[in-house]
Amino acid sequence: MELEVVILAAGRGARMQSDLPKVLHPLAGQPLIRHVLNTAALLNPSTLHVVVGHGAEEVKSACADIPVNWVFQKEQLGTGHAVLQALPQINSASRVLVLYGDVPLISEETLRQLIDKAGNGTAVLTANIDRPTGYGRVIRDESGCFERIVEDKDATPREREVDEINTGVLVASADYLNTYLPSVTSDNEQGEYYLPDILSQLVKDKQQIFTVSASPQEILGINDKVQLAHAESIIRAARARALMDLGVTLIDPSRVDIRGDVKCGSDVVIDINVILEGHVVLDDKVNVGANSCISDSTIGAGTVVHPMSTIEGATIETSCSIGPFARIRPGTKLSRDAKIGNFVETKNTSIGKASKASHLSYLGDAKIGSSSNIGAGTITCNYDGVEKHITEIGDNAFVGSNSTLVAPLKISDEAFVSAGSTVTKDVAKKELAVGRSPQRNVIGWKRPQKKNLS
């Protein structure tokens, strides 16, 4: 039987106290629903159906790159009603896995166990938790077989003592869902159509319901900012442990956030409060200083990222030095042994082997050769208000402090720009460019005096 997945994501999430649809709140750098979609995709379903309602267009836009069949639920009348909206678009011969867009931590392994246990029948994911208040309870018969699920508000005091809860995740044949869901009623405390109500009907018709138990962490639902922060801490701890298992040194694992796919070589050291986002590669012996943020970048072996630095969309070769307080923006390429120092910003710039910009500079849309020096306070004026222009600096060039380089501009090999110059014309090989007003010293000048107001 083919597998189809239905993800319920129509709720507003009032307890989040936000205009953002609940399933779009970020967790480890991605919206909640993308975590669920990514895990579901690992199961190779024939179709991913997502039931949307509140903020439907925002949710669709956030997941536009994922092949999804969108199903609109005009009124949010419960989980049973939500699945019912998707059923007309599901092959009647398929098995259906129902997931939730606000339950992001469930694992592929657990879901595969659930699917295997269901076979061609029905299986429910349950969990035993210490404080089950608010959850539907799994009620079993005297022999321990599944009997029914009772919602917390509808349960008797004795039923509320049960600590096995229904997670809402289940696998059932589309045939069963088509047969039993239309007869589910809203005769309950919430006035909603509950998906689990089909299970008691299946039991009544002598159909066995299988169960698989999940860990409490996996089935954590996100209903408020406290639960969102708790989920963040769970992911942070798991990803930090995975890096340490590979030999990465984390100075304090509780203060490193991994919000993407990170690959590390040997003897990598990461200090506190570092954020790694997107696709990040840290090669052998890379050292990342405290309070730095690296996203979608490759850092070559032996490179040191000093504290308080931001690196985004960059390619950095071996043995470079960056920061502290450097900002490396998208399109930056540093060749080996290059140095970007404190309060230097680069964007769409390539810097050659052993070249350096050590202090207080902006280098945008620049091509810099090898062994060149960019003095403190130098900026490339790359934007004329309409278009960006390139500044080219050759090998072994020297640009003095506080220089303004007005693009388009070419400074050739071994050229020299004197400090404080505004350079608007190309500088040939070994030439000296002086682009500043002559100094004038005023003889007999007197310092201004404060007026006596008394």
Mean pLDDT across the chain, nearest whole number? 95
The mean pLDDT of 194-222, rounded to a whole number, is 92
Q: 284 with 192, same domain?
A: no
Tell whether 207 and 251 lie within a shared domain. no
> Does any domain span residue 445?
no
pLDDT of residue 76: 87
Please indicate, yes or no, if residue 309 is contained in any of the structural domains: yes
In b/e form, how buried is each residue of 234-253, taking b as 16+ CB within 10 angstroms? bbbeebbeebeeeebebeeb
298 with 414, same domain: the answer is yes
* pLDDT tens digits, one per residue of 43-76: 999 999 999 999 999 999 999 999 999 999 998 8
131-168 pLDDT, tens digit each: 898 889 999 998 999 999 998 888 999 999 999 999 99
Q: Residue 10 class from Cβ within 10 Å (0-12 exposed, 13-18 middle, 19+ buried)?
A: buried
Domain boundary among 190, 213, 236: 213
Alpha-carbon distance of 298 to 261, in angstroms, equals 12
With respect to residue 375, please indicate whether it lies within any of the assigned structural domains. Answer: yes
Give the mean pLDDT of 379-385. Answer: 95
Residues 327-352: pLDDT tens digits?
999 999 999 999 999 999 999 999 99
Q: pLDDT band at 188, cuts 50/70/90?
A: confident
Name the DSSP class of 427: B
- Residues above pLDDT 70, as percent of the chain: 100
Its domain, for residue 361, covers 225-433
Average pLDDT over residues 265-274: 98
- Would 438 be classed as within a structural domain? no
Does residue 353 carry a pLDDT above 80? yes
pLDDT tens, residue by residue, 411-431: 999 999 999 999 999 999 999
Name the nearest CA neighbour of 397 among 424, 425, 367.
367
**Could you please report the per-residue DSSP string of 54-70?**
TBHHHHHHHTTTS--EE
* One domain, residues 199 and 266: no
Summarised one tens digit per residue, pLDDT across range 388-418 is: 999 999 999 999 999 999 999 999 999 999 9
- Yes or no: say if 375 and 391 are a contact pair by the CB < 8 Å rule: no
Tokens of 418: 């004197």
CA angle 114, 118, 122 (to 5 degrees): 110
Q: Note the helical H segments in 89-210.
A: 108-118, 157-160, 174-180, 197-204
Whether 69 is covered by a domain: the verdict is yes
DSSP of 183-236: G----STT----TTHHHHHHHHTT--EEEEE--TTTT----SHHHHHHHHHHHH
Shared-domain flag, residues 337 and 409? yes
CA–CA dist 375, 304 (Å, integer): 21
Share of the chain above pLDDT 90, in %: 87
- Whether 61 maps to a domain, the answer reads yes
* 140: β partners: 146
Cα–Cα separations (whole angstroms), residue 102 to 87, 289, 357, 376: 21, 34, 47, 50
**Confidence tier at 454 by pLDDT (50, 70, 90):** low
7: which 2 tokens? 């993800």
User: Where does a domain end: 213, 238, 253?
Assistant: 213
Q: What is the pLDDT of residues 275-297, one digit of tens each?
A: 999 999 999 999 999 999 999 99
Give the pLDDT score at 153: 86
In this structure, are 233 and 125 located in the same domain?
no
pLDDT digits (tens, 9 = 90+) for 94-118: 999 999 999 999 999 999 999 999 9
Is 203 in the same domain as 229?
Answer: no
**One domain, residues 177 and 274:** no
Q: Across residues 229-253, what is the average pLDDT?
A: 96
Question: CB under 8 Å to 454, separation ≥6 — which residues?
Answer: none
Residue 49 a catalytic site member: no
454 is a domain residue? no
Residue 452 pLDDT exceeds 80: no
Q: Are 185 and 321 members of one domain?
A: no
Looking at the fold, whether 276 and 408 belong to one and the same domain comes out as yes
Between CA 433 and CA 142 the distance in angstroms is 93
Angle, CA of 164, 50 and 207, to the nearest 5°: 45
In total, how many domains does the chain have? Answer: 2
From 145, 180, 213, the end of a domain falls on 213
The predicted-structure confidence for 247-265, as pLDDT tens digits, reads as follows: 999 999 999 999 999 999 9
pLDDT band at 309 (very low <50, low <70, confident <90, very high): very high
> Given pLDDT bands bounded at 50, 70 and 90, which one contains residue 451?
confident
* In a domain? residue 441: no
Range from 65-74, 155-164, 371-380, 443-452 carrying the lowest mean pLDDT = 443-452
For residues 165 and 175, give the distance between their C-alpha atoms in angstroms, rounded to a whole number: 26
The CATH number of the domain where 193 resides is what?
3.90.550.10
> Residue 269 sits in a domain of what CATH number?
2.160.10.10
Residues 198 and 56 in one domain: yes
Coil, helix or strand at residue 417: strand
Whether residue 336 sits in one domain with residue 243: yes
Query: Which of 279, 306, 359, 389 is an active site residue?
Result: 359
